[in-house]
Chains A and B, each alone.
Chain A
Amino acid sequence: MEFSLAPLRVSVETSIVATGITFFLGLAAANWRTRTSGRRGPVMDALFIVPLALPPTVVGYLLLLLLGRSSPLGKALESLGLQVLFSWPATVIAATVVAFPLMYLSARGALEQVNPSFLHAARTLGASEWTAFWKVALPLAWPGVIAGTILAFARALGEFGATLMIAGNIPGKTQTLPIAIFFAAEAGNMRQALAWVLITLGIASVALVALNTWGRRRRGTLSSTRG
């Protein structure tokens, strides 16, 4: 394998998109969960968290079954002419699925910590459920939400097993940095592998510092969350 910067581009795009999707999905799921009582809650919890407990290759295998021909979804996609397997969107799907539990758990914890009185007050002052969430609950839960985003990004960047399964190892298209590193190491190309490792570290550091700073700035006004 010749050395190229393609894995860098693929990884950056995949991680950004996956983290973005995970951010919104995770927040929405966490918000829904805090407003649900009864049995539905814990059942969905288990579903949301399960990718965390499974080895990524297994997650990849399940995704393969889900998106491939043997499932109704896969057949539907095929009939629409949509090729998901071995495409770049597949890398995003794999990264999103494994990163989601981290974002969900962090966001849920942070939202649950918000004193319900604030939301009651907001509602009596005329706020819709969306406004109450966006303008009151979320700002008060922000530190936890940011932590979740950081975790999600790190996980998405490092994702390997599931990506390999459903996106394949296609240089320039689905070969992410972790996959490139693995195969370089396998082939004994330690210098290449190391180069990519350093690049990964660089991206991760830049991104994490950026996310952290963003989080801290919005947090400045919140040294206490009690009423």
Chain B
Amino acid sequence: MILELLVEIQREFKDFKLEVAFCAGEKTLGILGPSGSGKSMTLRAIAGLETPTQGRIVLNGRTLFDSKRGINLPSRKRRMGFLLQDYALFPHMTVAENIGFGLRYLSRHEAGKKVAEQLARVQLQGLEDRYPRQLSGGQQQRAALARALAIDPEALLLDEPLSALDVPLRSQMEALLVETLSAFRGVSLYVTHNLEEAYRISEEIVVISKGKEIALGPKEEIFRHPRTFTVAQVTGCKNFSRARLKSADEVEALDWGCPLHVCSPIPEDMDFLGIRAHHLSLSDVGSAANTFPCELIRMIEGPFRMTLYLKLLMSEAPVAHHHLQAEITREKWMSLKERPFPWYVRLEPERIMLLRKDSANG
């Protein structure tokens, strides 16, 4: 059986048009996008909780939705395990009853066995007669996961499962999710707005912004080589400038007011430059290529890293506050801060991303 989920859907809203198309295979697909981009809506459409105006959804060769042929399978026939953001464990049922909710077609004996299996898998044995309100946040999540898996779904859909948890719990659950997803034999989709989470948990990523999918591919590719402005933004790039071609390997950064050497070949449709905050290096030596004197406008101290807001001293581009945002470790800061001015910031050519505008956004 081919393990594949094909999604091509459109839906119009008052001020927003959802139009996504992507394919997911056995590798966990992360759906990454800012809030309001339509990622949760997409997931719900796949699960059958919302109906697109047009399109097709095919899972493992089975058509779940096809507007042209008038097919729209109700959720209960789609065999998807859905883990909702607020878990939605039924408060009037025990954990065991919750997990067994989807198993009503089995005999009591069989269902009982399956429930016990699931309980063991998420390490909730002993809690089967508790009610959801008597469980901790992490336990509730595990119960919800067990409930979704109990029906042996063909696909697993997770809607921002970690966003409601606090940090220590989050890493625990993350480990459980990664394990579960790798053991799961089927298509799995993981929706989140958190780029670290998306990177850590999924293998492939589709980026959705303003209702459109703007990138799809292995996670390394997406993060290391975003092709467009929006993808770079969604994947956490903080420094952007409009760009103009100067020569085969030189570009003028218009918003930063400086010329930069970049890696060739330069794409024809390049409109922007981008560089990640932690790829900027700071020193008091200004000799290498792409190195410019700069002034520290503001510094914000984090627990492990520092964010520095820099202004390029020789820049001809006027700026409201700062040109660049750099991130360095605490240790680096300690050694840097005693150094005499001027400081120099270096934009390594290999790290400069050459981006184009997105077709409808950007």
Direct A–B touching in the complex (beta carbon < 8 Å)?
A: yes
- Spell out A's residues near B (CB within 8 Å): 115, 117-118, 120-128, 131, 135-136, 139-140, 221-227
Which chain A positions have C-beta within 8 A of B131? 221
Q: Are A123 and B91 in contact (CB under 8 A)?
A: no
Please give the distance in Å from B100's CB to the nearest CB on chain A: 10
| Contact A115-B92, Cβ < 8 Å, known A124-B81, A126-B102 | no
Mark contacts of B77-103 with chain A using CB atoms, 8 A cut-off: 1 yes-contact digit, 0 otherwise.
Answer: 011111010111111100000000110
Which chain A positions have C-beta within 8 A of B49? 120, 123-124
| Contact A127-B101, Cβ < 8 Å, known A120-B82, A121-B82, A224-B133 | yes
Q: Are B92 and A140 in contact (CB under 8 A)?
A: yes
Q: Are A124 and B75 in contact (CB under 8 A)?
A: yes
B74 at the interface (CB under 8 A from A): yes
Q: Are B76 and A223 in contact (CB under 8 A)?
A: no
CB closest residue in chain A, given B82: A124
B91 in complex: contacting residue of A124, A128, A135, A225, CB < 8 Å:
A225
- Spell out B's residues near A (CB within 8 Å): 44, 47-49, 74-76, 78-82, 84, 86-92, 101-102, 104-105, 131-133, 147-148, 151
Q: Which of A118, A120, A124, A222 has the most CB of B within 10 A?
A: A124
Please give the distance in Å from A139's CB to the nearest CB on chain B: 5
A121 in complex: contacting residue of B78, B88, B92, B105, CB < 8 Å:
B88
Task: Offer 7 A-B interface pairs, CB within 8 angstroms, sorted by A.
Answer: A121-B88, A123-B48, A124-B76, A126-B79, A126-B105, A127-B102, A227-B91
B151 in complex: contacting residue of A125, A128, A139, CB < 8 Å:
A125
B88 in complex: contacting residue of A115, A128, A135, A222, CB < 8 Å:
A115
CA–CA, A128 to B88, complex, Å?
17
CB closest residue in chain B, given A120: B49
Q: Are B47 and A222 in contact (CB under 8 A)?
A: no
CA–CA, A128 to B78, complex, Å?
12
Which chain A positions have C-beta within 8 A of B86? 115, 117, 227
CA–CA, A222 to B92, complex, Å?
6
Q: Are A120 and B91 in contact (CB under 8 A)?
A: no
Which chain A positions have C-beta within 8 A of B47? 120, 124
Q: Are A127 and B76 in contact (CB under 8 A)?
A: yes
CA–CA, A128 to B173, complex, Å?
31
Which chain B positions have C-beta within 8 A of A117? 84, 86, 88
Which chain B positions have C-beta within 8 A of A125? 76, 101-102, 147-148, 151
Which chain B positions have C-beta within 8 A of A225? 91
Q: Can you name 9 extra interface pairs (CB under 8 A) apart from A221-B131, A224-B133, A227-B88?
A: A121-B88, A124-B148, A125-B76, A125-B101, A126-B104, A127-B101, A140-B91, A140-B92, A225-B91
| Contact A120-B84, Cβ < 8 Å, known A125-B147, A127-B76 | yes
5 tightest CB-CB pairs across the interface, nearest first? Answer: A125-B102, A123-B75, A117-B88, A124-B82, A121-B88
B74 in complex: contacting residue of A123, A135, A136, A224, CB < 8 Å:
A123
Please give the distance in Å from B75's CB to the nearest CB on chain A: 4
CA–CA, A120 to B81, complex, Å?
11
Which chain B positions have C-beta within 8 A of A123? 48-49, 74-76
